[in-house]
């Protein structure tokens, strides 16, 4: 595969979706993760895994919101893992999808406030 093909938006989107699916499979069940976040809203690891599980369950907007909440609370958590995962979500969903555009606005509001 050529470098130009690897840079293609469709390829990048597919690659991001595959990476997210692999991580989501390891994230855990939704209910215990939600309970962990409710019990300790500062448990970023649980919220991160919750975001992956939400995305795997077809709840992209809720997954984006969970990652944005981590960034809001602690921008640099785990070497910027939440922001990097959020960018992968945006790639996988597609740059012109309304949920991506809304998520980018929310992220910008946090980063530039």
Which residue ranges form the domains of the chain, and what is each CATH number?
A: 3-111 (1.25.40.10)
pLDDT tens by residue, the chain, 113 residues: 555 555 566 667 666 666 766 666 666 788 999 999 999 999 999 999 999 999 988 899 999 999 999 999 999 999 999 999 999 999 888 889 999 999 999 999 998 87
pLDDT of 49 reads: 93
Distance CA 25, CA 41 (A): 23
pLDDT of 31 reads: 93
pTM: 0.81
Q: Which residues 6+ apart lie within 8 Å of 23 measured at CB?
A: 52, 85
**Cβ count near 23 (within 10 Å):** 18
pLDDT of 74 reads: 96
pLDDT of 63 reads: 96
Q: Would the CA dihedral through 53, 66, 88, 73 be positive or negative?
A: negative
Distance CA 83, CA 79 (A): 9
């Amino acid at each position: 595969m050529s470098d130009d093909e690897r840079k293609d938006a469709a390829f990048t989107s597919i690659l991001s979706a595959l990476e997210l699916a692999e991580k989501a499979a390891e994230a855990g069940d939704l209910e215990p993760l939600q309970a962990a976040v409710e019990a300790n809203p500062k448990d970023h690891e649980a919220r991160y895994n919750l975001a992956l599980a939400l995305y795997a369950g077809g709840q992209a907007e809720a997954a984006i919101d969970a990652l944005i909440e981590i960034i809001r609370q602690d921008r640099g958590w785990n070497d910027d893992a939440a922001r990097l995962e959020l960018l992968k979500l945006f790639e996988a969903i597609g740059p012109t999808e309304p949920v991506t555009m809304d998520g980018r606005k929310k992220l910008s509001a946090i980063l530039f406030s």
